Structures are given as C-alpha cells and as structure tokens.
Amino acid sequence: MLYLFRLLFLLINIDQETVLNWFGIEDPTNVKAYQAIANGYDLNSSNIEPSTNISIDTLGLLVEGLLNKLQDGLTIVDIENTLFFILFVRFIILALRYNLKTSLYITSIGLFAGYLWYRHLIDIISTYSNVLIKIPFLQNLGKDAIRLQSLSHQTVATNLKLGENTHWYNPGQVIYYAIMKAIINVDLETGQKYYIDPISMIISKIQGSGDSNIVSFYYKLYNKVIPRVYDFCSKFWAQLSGVAAYAVITRIGKKYCPYLIRWHWTFLLIIMMVENIFISFMGRANYFQTQILIPQKESYGNYINSSLQLQINFLNIIIIFIVLVHIGLLIFGLFHAIWGQYFYVPFFVENTELHIGPRPKNSIYSGGNTSWQDPEEKEKHLNRVFPKLWYGWFGSGTKNGWELTSKFKQFINKIIKKIKR
C-alpha cells in the first residue's frame, strides 16, 4: 500500500502550473511564453522556463485568479472544480495521517454525502433559473441551469425516439427499451414498424378473419393502455425513488451506511419540506412581477408611476434575498459534507438527530465534531429560552476559540516530521 501511495505521487507532477490549471487560471510563465510567440521570438527548450514548485506565491496567484473569475459571476464549473480540489487535498492529508485505504474510505463517504447536496443544489438552481438571470453575480448559474435543462430534454427526446443511451441506474428504461427492441421490427426501406411479439402475430391472423372486436381491443391495449400505464408508473417512480432509496440505504442498510451520509441525507429531506414554501412563493412573486407589474409599468410610457416602481423594487429585494440565502445555505452544507463535517441549524438538526441518533464518537468514519451533542450542551439547551445559533466552525464548539488553530498547527508539524523522515 505504501509503494502504491509513492507511485501516485510520482505519476502526478504537482507544481504551480498543475494547481493553477485545475481552476482554469493561466500560469504567469505560460503567459510570458505566449507573449514571446506573439511577438515573433524564437523559443526552444532552453528558453522555456519550467513551472515553479508550489509556494506561498502560488496561493497568492490562486486567490487572485479566483477573484478575477468570480467578478464575471459564479458558474457550476467553478463549484465543481473547487469541490474536487478539496477532495484531492483532503485525500492527501488523510493518507498522510492514516493510510491510503482509510483515506479512500473517508473521502468516498464525504464524496457521497456531498453528491446528495450537489444534486439538490442543481435542482434548486434549475428551479430558480429564470430568477438567477436577473441577479448579476448569479447570471452564469442561471445560464448553466437553462443549458442543463435543454440538454436533459434533448436527451430524453432522443432516448424516447431511438431507445438508446439508457444507463444501468435506470432499470425501468432498460427493461422498457429491451422489450420494445424485441417486439418491434422496423423496415429499413419503408421505415414502417411491425410488431413481432406472439400476441401481435396471433392478432394478425385474426385480423384476416374479420373479427373486429378483438382487433380494436388489441389496438387500444397497445396504443393507449400500455403507454398510459408506463407513463403513470414512471412518474410515480420518479416521485418515490428518492424516498425509497433513502429508506433502503439509511433504514434497512443502517448497519452498513456511515453516520455522515445518514445525517446529511436526513437533514436534506427535512429542509426540502420547508423549501417548497419558498419555491412556491418565488414562483408567485416572479409571475406577479413579470406578468402584472412590469406590463402595467410599460403601459404608462414615459410617465413613471412611483407606486409600481416601488413594488417592483421591493419584490426584487425579497427575491434576491431569498435566492441568496437559499443557495448560500445549500453551498454551505455542500462544503461541510465534502469535508466530512457537520453544522448546526436550530430545529432542523434536532429533528435530524431524532431520526438517526447521536454521532458515534469512537469511529474515524463518523466525520467531524458535533459539540451540540455533548452532555453539558444538552443540559444548557434545555434551560435556554432561545436556541444557540453558533457552535463554532465545523461544529467544534465555542469554548476555546484557538483550539482548532492549535490542533491544526500540531497536525501540520506532524506532517512535516513525517516528510523529513
């Protein structure tokens, strides 16, 4: 295992150019080379400067490049690049602290928990796509969501037309298209379809005898009843699949499902009940603004109606505030899940832990800190009129503010000693 870990570092050349290219930022040495080529200078291997090693300057270039990219607006690609970079860094740190196998397990647990948040974030961004286009900093997110929606519609239409590109995680589609491929024969010259299943072959014999009742029943069954039943079952499964997967993995397979995944998955299901209220409100507010207030304002022409303008501005403030808080909370939870950490939100966390219980503190696979589960905090919580809102970074507590920094320094010193050895 140790030799495999060393081989991993030999195969991946981690320098300044590698780190900057991960985030789509140009290395200054490459920029100088491009400028020299543009000016007509002759470059050979002796004139090209190799990329420098990772240093404090690399961190400065990384922060500067990310800030320049964020000025154009946040995109889904930026979020994905940041997440995978965090996963890679966390994998390296855990491999140095434990071993390669343990690091892979812990990183995979965080990846699965983060994927749950990421999929939900994409769904919410797609829901808010028409609103995000109006917000300057989030316009690119709205455009990405619209592209994803159009791409998914094209994929579904292609799959329905050709019956191809089906995947193993859609067993219903695999079975449906397998049956359709088996019972339908297409004439390549005329393009006409022929049903070659046993029932259709029998009906073709009956059709020649003139018995119209059986033939009409057959066509109703194949053209109306079966497609409607399939459509109903597919929609029902689309609504039920998430809850069914949650029940099978976190309830039936509780023994084999890590606590981090169960905690974040349950937390997501609970907040989804409240999210529907804000999503409905956002839809109504956006419709009222775009379909009623703005047309009325345009009907006045050059005359500015202060009351209408005030209503439009007020709705803009409410819409932007709700969208930023909602998406910000999801990104906040997403990064906590990727890091294998927990966070506290009153009412939601209590209900989450009523379902799955407290965190097992004797396992390295259970994730980070949950200081609100400590016995002292539970006693204080019962005596409080209002709940405590902040339990420190990554749920580490608020008693010793510099405890996390000191532990981080100790951990860095241990890594430096191991590298020296």
Q: How confident is the model at residue 362 (pLDDT cuts 50, 70, 90)?
A: confident
Q: How confident is the model at residue 106 (pLDDT cuts 50, 70, 90)?
A: very high
Q: Counting beta carbons within 10 angstroms of the beta carbon of residue 121, is it exposed (0 to 12), middle (13 to 18) or buried (19 or more)?
A: buried
pLDDT in tens, 118-175: 989 988 988 888 888 877 777 778 787 777 777 665 555 555 454 555 555 566 667 7
pLDDT of residue 231: 82
pLDDT of residue 105: 92
The more confident residue out of 336 and 199 is 336
Long-range contacts of 154-160 (CB under 8 A, 24+ apart): none
Paired residues of 194 in beta bridges: 185
* pLDDT at 197 exceeding the cut of 80: no
Alpha-carbon gap, residue 229 to 250, rounded angstroms? 30
pLDDT average, residue stretch 189-213: 69
pLDDT of residue 333: 92
The more confident residue out of 406 and 264 is 264
pLDDT of residue 54: 59
Q: Which two tokens mark 354?
A: 């009523």
pLDDT average, residue stretch 384-406: 68
* pLDDT at 22 exceeding the cut of 90: no
Q: Counting beta carbons within 10 angstroms of the beta carbon of residue 272, is it exposed (0 to 12), middle (13 to 18) or buried (19 or more)?
A: middle
pLDDT of residue 10: 44
pLDDT in tens, 265-289: 999 999 998 888 888 888 888 888 8
Paired residues of 186 in beta bridges: 193
Sign of the torsion formed by the C-alpha atoms of 247, 111, 325 and 405: positive
pLDDT average, residue stretch 250-273: 89
The more confident residue out of 102 and 71 is 102
Which of 13-17, 56-60, 191-195 shows the highest mean pLDDT? Answer: 191-195
pLDDT of residue 116: 92
pLDDT of residue 6: 43
Closest CA to 342 of 400, 259, 249, 254: 259
pLDDT of residue 180: 73
Q: Which two tokens mark 70?
A: 């964020």
pLDDT average, residue stretch 14-34: 58
Query: What's the pTM?
Result: 0.69
Closest CA to 104 of 1, 9, 22, 23: 1
The more confident residue out of 317 and 196 is 317
Q: How confident is the model at residue 262 (pLDDT cuts 50, 70, 90)?
A: very high
pLDDT average, residue stretch 194-204: 73
pLDDT in tens, 336-350: 999 999 998 888 988
Question: How many CB atoms lie under 10 A from the CB of residue 370?
Answer: 25
Alpha-carbon gap, residue 242 to 238, rounded angstroms? 8
Alpha-carbon gap, residue 177 to 158, rounded angstroms? 13
Closest CA to 327 of 84, 154, 155, 144: 144
pLDDT of residue 368: 83
pLDDT average, residue stretch 63-79: 70
Give me the chain's average pLDDT, please: 75
- Residue 123 identity (one-letter amino acid): D
Q: How confident is the model at residue 332 (pLDDT cuts 50, 70, 90)?
A: very high
* pLDDT at 412 exceeding the cut of 90: no
pLDDT in tens, 284-324: 888 888 888 888 877 766 566 677 888 888 888 898 899 88
pLDDT of residue 1: 42
